[in-house]
Each structure stands twice: as structure tokens, then as C-alpha cells.
């Protein structure tokens, strides 16, 4: 299951013409005016209203999942040095997959 905010974005209908993935920079695929879902989890995910969903075309790829994990860890760690190392890992990973 992908996490919103990491290559997956839920927005108000027609709020954006296009979005770029914040992980790999690819242009996101968009599904517009998806119908509202009901239920608590849907409400938490802001899916209880009509919405547009943007998702990175690379979202399901192994390297992209790894990149998302790295980005999350970088945001979480209190250590600047660790963050720097993980940032390098992330750049290597993207480069290996011909991103950037
Ligand atoms: Zn991406």
C-alpha cells in the first residue's frame, strides 16, 4: 500500500493540471473525479469527497519503494550524518534507475 505524499497525492478535483512525483520526478498519472468513499479510513485518507488521485508511474517498482523508504527515513532521523548518507544512497538508487 502506497503512502500519500510519497509518489501518491490526493487532491480536490481539478486542483492541479499535473503533478511531478516528489520521489523520482516523473510526471504522475492522474485519475480525475473519483467518487467519494465512505467509512472512517476513507475519511482519514481524505477519500470521503470526490477527488483527483495522482500517482507516480513508477510507484509499484521495487527501486521506487526503496526510494520512498529512504525518503521517509531521512525525514525521521535526528542525525544529520545519517540523513546525508541516506541522501547519497537515494541519489545512487535513482541514478542506477536512470533518474536525474
Ligand atoms: Zn516516482
For ligand 1, the distance from its centroid to the CA atom of residue 33, given in whole angstroms, is 22
| Residues 6+ positions from 89 with CB-CB distance below 8 Å | 70
Which tens digit of pLDDT belongs to each residue from 34-69? 988 888 888 887 778 899 999 999 999 999 999 999
Q: CA-to-CA distance for 74 and 97, rounded, in angstroms?
A: 20
For ligand 1, the distance from its centroid to the CA atom of residue 43, given in whole angstroms, is 25
| Residues 6+ positions from 59 with CB-CB distance below 8 Å | 2, 7, 8
For the chain, the residue count is 100
Residue 38 CB: number of other CB atoms within 10 A? 9
Give the pLDDT confidence score for residue 100 in this predicted structure. 65
For ligand 1, the distance from its centroid to the CA atom of residue 59, given in whole angstroms, is 6
For ligand 1, the distance from its centroid to the CA atom of residue 4, given in whole angstroms, is 12
52 contacts 16 by C-beta, under 8 angstroms: yes
Amino acid at each position: 500500500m502506497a503512502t500519500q505524499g510519497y509518489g501518491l497525492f490526493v487532491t480536490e478535483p481539478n486542483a492541479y493540471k499535473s503533478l511531478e512525483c516528489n520521489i523520482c520526478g516523473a510526471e504522475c498519472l492522474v485519475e480525475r473525479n473519483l467518487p467519494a468513499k465512505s467509512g472512517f479510513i476513507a475519511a482519514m485518507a481524505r477519500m470521503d469527497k470526490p477527488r483527483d488521485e495522482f500517482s507516480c508511474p513508477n510507484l509499484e517498482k521495487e527501486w521506487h519503494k526503496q526510494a520512498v523508504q529512504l525518503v521517509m527515513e531521512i525525514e525521521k532521523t535526528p542525525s544529520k550524518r545519517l540523513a546525508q548518507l541516506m541522501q547519497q544512497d537515494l541519489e545512487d538508487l535513482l541514478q542506477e534507475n536512470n533518474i536525474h
